[in-house]
Amino acid sequence: MSFDIQKIRSDFPILNRKVYGKPLVYFDNAATTQKPRAVIDRITDYYTNENCNIHRGVHHLSQAATTAFEDTREQIARFINASKKEEIIITKGTTESINLIASSFGRDILQKGDEVLITAMEHHSNLVPWQMLCFEKEASLRVVPFNDKGEIEMSAYKDHINDKTRIIALAHVSNTLGTINPVKEMIQYAHGKNVPVLIDGAQALSHLKVDVSDLDCDFYCFSGHKAYGPMGVGVLYAKEKHLEAMPPYQTGGEMVESVSFFETTFNVLPFKFEAGTPNVEAVLGMGAAIKYLEETGMESIEDYEDDLLAYGTQKLKKIEGVQLYGTACKKTGVLSFLIDNIHPYDAGTIIDKFSIAVRTGHHCAQPVMDRFGIPGTIRASFAMYNTKEEIDQLVEAIHQVKKMFG
Amino acid sequence: MSFDIQKIRSDFPILNRKVYGKPLVYFDNAATTQKPRAVIDRITDYYTNENCNIHRGVHHLSQAATTAFEDTREQIARFINASKKEEIIITKGTTESINLIASSFGRDILQKGDEVLITAMEHHSNLVPWQMLCFEKEASLRVVPFNDKGEIEMSAYKDHINDKTRIIALAHVSNTLGTINPVKEMIQYAHGKNVPVLIDGAQALSHLKVDVSDLDCDFYCFSGHKAYGPMGVGVLYAKEKHLEAMPPYQTGGEMVESVSFFETTFNVLPFKFEAGTPNVEAVLGMGAAIKYLEETGMESIEDYEDDLLAYGTQKLKKIEGVQLYGTACKKTGVLSFLIDNIHPYDAGTIIDKFSIAVRTGHHCAQPVMDRFGIPGTIRASFAMYNTKEEIDQLVEAIHQVKKMFG
Amino acid sequence: MTIKEIQEQIITEFGNFDDWMDRYNHLIDMGKSCPLIDEKYKTKSFLISGCQSRVWLHASMSDGEIIFTADSDAVITKGIVNLLIRVFSKQPADDIIAADIAFIDEIGLNEHLSPTRSNGLMSMIKQMKLYALAFKTKAANQ
Amino acid sequence: MTIKEIQEQIITEFGNFDDWMDRYNHLIDMGKSCPLIDEKYKTKSFLISGCQSRVWLHASMSDGEIIFTADSDAVITKGIVNLLIRVFSKQPADDIIAADIAFIDEIGLNEHLSPTRSNGLMSMIKQMKLYALAFKTKAANQ
Ligand SMILES: Cc1ncc(COP(=O)(O)O)c(C=O)c1O
Ligand SMILES: Cc1ncc(COP(=O)(O)O)c(C=O)c1O
């Protein structure tokens, strides 16, 4: 196999660090992933040799940085198989990408009495912007429920679409349950009813091969920092026809073509949606992360993580009193669970003392917790650098938690 | 003197690089400044040892990163003398800070027939958002002109304020002309008329001691990358009373307190305005930049740059055919000029060949160009690491340009 | 005992433990002891909301001393709540207002008091001092 | 001469210069030569807007060949415009459509053709090829 876990671990400097005197076990990857050396070095190089504001500068540094920036835009387009680089808008993250669409596209198409459809497993970032929009427009937010395993059933989904549905926004992968939604089918059905679909891909990009042309989604959003890239950068992929029709979101800087006090004309795509100095550093860093993902191979990563998930699931199921939330047939490496009646805060505090980083709480998906009637979960989420040995350590820690609170 | 230019130059790794075989002379500092090693190292350290998503995590990495992040917020508050850290909102840059205010505050207070006041020297980022807002609200955008030297006269300013004026937005320092506006006086006068004032401080922070309490401004905006910090981070300072009253801007993630499908309550300040995963890396990097500024001493920097400006002004004035734009009495180190009738693109192309980075064009302030009836200028803008010898090289290059196009 | 003396007592008590596990086991024991607050006060108006664990706090005045009762839904938080009650309850308002809570640091539980921890403990201490201030003001006005 | 031959000629011509300054002096000389476009075409409809320097382009068809005239407000841009006209004007549509413009790279002026340069040159080349395509289609339909 081409997947050499020791080599991969050695690519991530932070895995050498100790917490409370023992090697860090990092299972908080759904919150943010760690960065390979290639990404860190790209940033250092940039500031050491290339730093410059881009676009419109004729001097050497500015030309070189602009070229590197625009080349990365093309690289991103290729990586998710967009048909052209003008469809790649750089944002600061998934949350901003979704807000942009809710504000520019949503405000344009939504009228009083219309409906926006989401699912019950959305992250707050793919829920609150739609809720606010519906509130503003006197439209209704409709919610497709999920079943006990954490799956959206196609029949339930179809039942919620009607001739008032104006846009559907749904997660490719749930951050809390790990569920991989059948988004291709869901998009196809929606398009049959002429409804555009936004996919929140924040939790998908580092785990699955994403192909926006194959999915045929109208919008696809993700964050660099959840896919081994730097913080402060995200992507909004959108079909060109939508971007052309949409009004700009933020204004100022390079997104204008000409300005007088009486009128302003906006720049062409993609610049029309990129107001202010772009985060060149983070875009180049994201380019390095994508290169790293491609070199490692998305399929190898998926296989390896599937294996980790199967192992972890089986181990956790064996522990008496452990209750798993999210047991969909198609899942990424996310294990959300509770131990007996122990409060997640208590469990998390003790697990941390074993140098293991898990997240506890509602994971910005409070409605998921409400659905199960629990205050929160303990969540271990895997990345390509995790190992079965680390899962064993988690199992050990869970036994200790049980002992201490038993 | 405590200002040791050789030491300072050695703190900026990029100054070692060559362009076309000769040492880089970087005079494009108003577009973005270079970064001292302390900032680059802070970023590397962060990703090598500390990287984590912040807030709400109970594990060690998350706690440590959250503390570092919030400590930096306090450091920023101290640096600009805000009264509390809750008044410091982290954004991705000046443009976003201004858009946030135009959208959340402006939309709330502006009615049909009202007026927004700006000046004729604003950057597009402090013009277009207000223009769009006025368009949406059927309000008018009024513009205070500047005189031939590039100064706003207090009498002209006062004449433009009337009982329809709802907000005033103006640059602390002009990015094209270098003019330092008498913002304290201007704010005082506006407050006498009960009009709140936003200051665009993008070009001020790295050159002057900024004291928002002394200025008594309602809003103050700046970008990290123009003050020796990383890209992708900016600040919105706002008085607490405004932040409390304003609706949120972007939604999702940590900015909510509790969420159900029926209602959402928002988090307390400053989190209410920080949707999505914050750019921890860049915030910590900006903290390192501020530390560097404080250690160097804002007064020393100001004195040193004043000296550079005086030297450069005198040298450029001596060259026949060079026309300076922006000769205000109070200026930062910005020299905007044209050479004879030579197009700025032509001049910039040749100056670049001498390894000197200047910016040419309208500098995102087209109305300033219209005011002077020119297509653009050549702009050399100084930072603390520039020297008189570098200015001499620019003068040499200008002579060559004259020769080539003469 | 004064606030200072109680804090010293607690520090001595925790001084007996060699490692974090013993310390936490002790804390958990304290957390498991029966609820410290009357159930009728476990309502929204007495809730101090941290986003992960919740704390309820009630205060009353009796003979010049302030009586605090409290509870939490997480055991570790409850253990610390218990310690804070031991320190602050049945003390004069002035002492509560002036007190610092250095003992939490010294017994190695400071992480739980970080303002970024969002377990409600930081707000609880703030709230206790506010109550003390309020009772003091009220007494002065009578 | 064919497009290819003209390109080779230009490469030889520029091959005589040792350094960038001579190259640019030559370009500037070419840029200074009288306007290449009828003044009446220097209007908005013939403008190709780059944000720093502007280019005006006009095309017409005569005897199966396309005649381009153009101008720019910046001298260096105009010099390159001049070169492009030399290469593409009075050529058959098919040749223009098929041509690549490698010579710009070989004479060391590639930076000016970067799509990020915003001097209008990249758009000019695109526009020239579009004109060729349009004339070809028109001819085929007649
Ligand atoms: C005066 C002024 N305001 C606003 C901006 C916009 O800053 P940013 O691009 O970092 O958002 C700039 C810089 O481009 C500026 O010089
Ligand atoms: C499914 C999902 N959507 C959206 C987000 C928001 O991403 P960000 O915080 O990077 O904007 C997250 C992560 O927090 C997520 O998991």
- B309 within 8 A of B333, measured Cβ to Cβ: yes
Per-residue pLDDT 10s for chain A (406 aa) are: 478 999 999 999 999 999 999 999 999 999 999 999 999 999 999 999 999 999 878 899 999 999 999 999 999 999 999 999 999 999 999 999 999 999 999 999 999 999 999 999 999 999 999 999 999 999 999 999 999 999 999 999 999 999 999 999 999 999 999 999 999 999 999 999 999 999 999 999 999 999 999 999 999 999 999 999 999 999 999 999 999 999 999 999 888 888 888 888 898 899 999 999 999 999 999 999 999 999 999 999 999 999 999 999 999 999 999 999 999 999 999 999 999 999 999 999 999 999 999 999 999 999 999 999 998 999 999 999 999 999 999 999 999 999 999 8
CA neighbor of A211 nearest in space, from A184, A185, A240, A178: A184
Instruction: Mark whether B128 and B218 lie in a shared domain.
Output: yes
Residue A118: give its domain's CATH number: 3.40.640.10
**Residues A54, A57, A59, A63: is their CA dihedral positive or negative?**
positive
Domain C3-137 has CATH 3.30.950.10: no
Asked whether residue A173 falls in the same domain as residue A305, the answer is: no
End-of-domain residue from the set A294, A328, A360: A294
Contact call for residues B358 and B30 (beta carbons, < 8 A): no
Which percentage of chain B shows pLDDT scores above 70? 100
Averaged pLDDT for residues B330-357: 96
In a domain, B378, yes or no: yes
Q: CB atoms < 10 A from the CB of A302, how many?
A: 16
pLDDT at C115 over 80: no
Residue A5 resides in a domain: no
Chains C and A contact (Cβ–Cβ under 8 Å for 3 or more pairs): yes
Distance from CA of D118 to the nearest CA of A (A): 6
Are the CB atoms for B214 and B184 separated by under 8 Å? yes
Q: What is the pLDDT of residue C50?
A: 66
Any ligand 1 atom below 6 A from CB of B175: yes
How far is ligand 1, taken at its centre, from the CA of residue B164, in Å?
A: 28
Identify from B124, B338, B343 which residue to disrupt to test chain D contact, counting D C-beta atoms within 10 A and taking the largest count. B343
Higher pLDDT, D15 or A14: A14
- CA A78 to each of CA A72, A211, A236: distance values in angstroms, whole numbers, following the listed order: 10, 9, 14
Block residue for tokens 């009486």 = A262
Q: pLDDT tier at B28 (50, 70, 90 boundaries)?
A: very high
Q: Structurally, how many domains does chain B consist of?
A: 2
Per residue in B254-313, pLDDT tens? 888 888 888 888 988 999 999 999 999 999 999 999 999 999 999 999 999 999 999 999
| Whole-number average pLDDT of chain C | 89
Judged by CB atoms closer than 8 Å, whether chains meet at A345 and C20 is answered as: no
Same domain for B303 and B289: no
Concatenating the DSSP letter of every residue in B332-379 gives -SEEEEEETT--HHHHHHHHHHTTEE-EEE-TT-HHHHHHHT-S-EEE
Contact of A252 with B123, CB cutoff 8 Å: yes
Residue written as token pair 């939330």? A325
Among protein residues, the one whose CA lies closest to atom 14 of ligand 1: B31
CA distance linking residue D51 with residue A323, whole number of Å: 61
Residue B21 falls within a domain, yes or no? no
Burial class (CB in 10 A: 0-12, 13-18, 19+), A197: buried
For residue range D34-78, list pLDDT tens digits in order: 667 899 999 988 988 766 888 999 999 999 899 999 999 999 999
The alpha carbon of A327 and the centre of ligand 2 are apart by a number of angstroms equal to 21
Ligand nearest to the CA of B277: 2
CA A12/CA A232 separation, integer angstroms: 20
ipTM of this complex > 0.90?
yes
- Say how far apart CA A133 and CA D88 lie, in whole Å: 54
- C113 pLDDT tier (thresholds 50, 70, 90): confident
Instruction: Give the residue numbers of A annotated as catalytic, written as ranges.
Output: 364
CB–CB contact B353 D25 (8 Å): no
pLDDT tens per residue across span C55-85: 999 999 999 899 999 999 999 999 999 999 9
More confident residue, B260 or B242: B242
Angle CA A292–A297–A300, to nearest 5: 130
For residue B312, count other CB atoms closer than 10 A to its CB.
Answer: 25
Please determine, for residue B77, whether its predicted confidence score (pLDDT) is greater than 90.
yes
For residues A197 and A343, membership in a common domain is answered with no
Q: Would you call B59 and A92 a contact, using CB atoms and an 8 Å cutoff?
A: no
Q: What is the pTM of this model?
A: 0.96
Residue where one domain finishes, among candidates A294, A314, A331: A294
Residues with a CB atom less than 6 Å from ligand 2? A 93-95, 123, 125-126, 171, 175, 200, 202-203, 223, 364; B 253, 276-277
Cα D69–chain centre separation: 9
Q: In what order do the strands lie in the sheet with A322-325?
A: A322-325, A334-339, A377-381, A359-361
Counting ligands in written order, which one lies closest to the CA of residue A206?
2
Show the tokens assigned to B30. 């108003």
What does the pLDDT look like over D89-112, one tens digit per residue? 999 999 999 998 888 888 888 888
Same domain, B290 and B303: no
What residues in A contact C51, CB-CB < 8 Å? Answer: 361-362
Can you tell me the distance from the alpha carbon of C99 to that of C113, in angstroms, rounded to the nearest whole number?
A: 16
Domain borders along chain C are 3-137
Q: How many CB pairs under 8 A join A and B?
A: 290
d(CA A54, CA A70): 10
Q: What are the structure tokens assigned to B397, written together?
A: 């290059």
Strand partners, C69: C58
Indicate whether B80 belongs to any domain: yes
Dist CA B145 CA C121 (whole Å): 55
Q: Which residue range(s) make up the domain with A214?
A: 41-294
Give the ligand 1 atom nearest the CA of B200.
Answer: 3
**B contacts of C51 (beta carbons < 8 Å):** 56, 257
Inter-chain residue contact A34 with B51, CB threshold 8 Å:
yes
Write the CA distances from A325 to A152, A328, A360, integer angstroms: 14, 9, 13
Shared domain for B246 and B390, answered yes or no, is no
Q: For a substitution probing ligand 1, which of B125, B200, B236, B362 has the most ligand atoms within 8 Å of its CB?
A: B125
Same domain, residue pair B45 and B65: yes
Q: Which residue of B has its CA nearest to C120?
A: B56
Contact assignment for C24 to A376 by CB distance below 8 Å: no
Position B95 pLDDT exceeds 90: yes
CA–CA distances in Å: residue D6 to residues A156, D1, D80, D85: 68, 6, 14, 11
Q: Residue D141: its pLDDT value, please? A: 84
Ligand 2, atom nearest to A171 Cα: 1
Q: Provide the pLDDT for residue A115.
A: 98
A343/C74 CB distance under 8 A: yes
Q: Residue B324, Cα to own-chain centre: how many angstroms?
A: 22
